[in-house]
Amino acid sequence: MDIDILLALQEFRNGAGSFLTGFFSKMTFLGEINTAIVIMAILYWSVSKELGSYLLMGWSGNRLANGVMKVTACTYRPWIRDARVLPYGNSINTATGYSFPSGHIMNASTVFGGIAVRKDYPRALRVVLGLVMVFVAFSRVYLGVHTPQDVLVGAAIGTLVMWLTLRLMRWVEAHPGKDWLVVCAGVGLSAAVALYAALKPYPADYDAEGKLIVDGAKMANDTFKGVGYSVAFLTGWILERRFVNFTTEVSVQRKLMRAVIGLLGYYAVSLILTPLLKTWGPGPAGTFISCFIQMFYIAFLFPLCAKRMERSSDR
């Protein structure tokens, strides 16, 4: 039935629905990893450290949950399951790893759903963000890269993780000296996820020519990305709390400077440094290290540099 829905939407998209493809292509962009990271980084550095920490913590949990579920279910992408499914344009390029559940919607569940579940924000804002999340979810089905099951389960799990993260962060606020327990539990869980993804068997199906249809080891790459991001955030988070303790209660000028300089540094790390690291250390180790460095820069290195630069400027 899920493939039938994709085929029906594909027929509509190729006919009268072609005018919607531009809109849903933009909506699916809001669920990409890099988009989520940039939004959360700006919030963390320049808008609200508390909100940014909460979103980054929840996103770490969602990346682990998504990684575990993908390598457990090992669900092939729709166009592999049925050759009649033809994803729109280059949307197939961002569809990495196994299909179930959708990583895009779990990213959107973090950034948009994570704020929507908080009652301390205006109701109108929460409704708008909830609608954005719905549009991102539908865009993945409309463009033909996910089934309804992929996005519905992803949205449910992603929102649940953010609801649990909200309670975890409030517990940390009430018990600040026990934040190390969160870090130890998170790093231990990340290590368990990495071992599970590395050691479990993957399905090996072959086409009529005897070629492997899907390489499970490559599909697990998304899981190792999640482990790298999660360990980096947890490490950077507790180091920042212990040794930096920066604040977002600064002038608008400084907020803007942090956002601009911080993003320039992030893109230098992600576009120059991490590709070099991947060439030196290919495979899961290279993926882990490159993702670790990106997130460690966001969580600890840039806040440290920003606070020192601002302190020097004050002097």
Output DSSP code: residue 32: S
Residue 104 annotated in active site: yes
**Which among 49, 104, 225, 258 is annotated as catalytic?**
104
Strands (E), 130-238: none
Q: Are 182 and 170 in contact (CB under 8 A)?
A: no
First-last CA distance in the chain: 66
**Which among 49, 146, 225, 258 is annotated as catalytic?**
146
Residue 175 annotated in active site: no
Q: Are 183 and 235 in contact (CB under 8 A)?
A: yes
Alpha carbon 237 to chain centroid, angstroms: 17
At 76 the three-state DSSP class reads coil
Measuring CA to CA, which residue among 96, 163, 161, 102 is closest to residue 134? 102
- CA distances from residue 154 to 8, 72, 105, 134, 146 in whole angstroms, order as listed: 22, 14, 6, 12, 11
Measuring CA to CA, which residue among 181, 175, 213, 189 is closest to residue 67? 189
Distance CA 202, CA 10 (A): 30
Q: In sequence order, which residues have a C-beta less than 8 Å from that of residue 66 and are 6 or more positions away?
A: 101, 103, 106, 154, 157, 222, 226
Give catalytic residues, as residue numbers. Answer: 104, 146
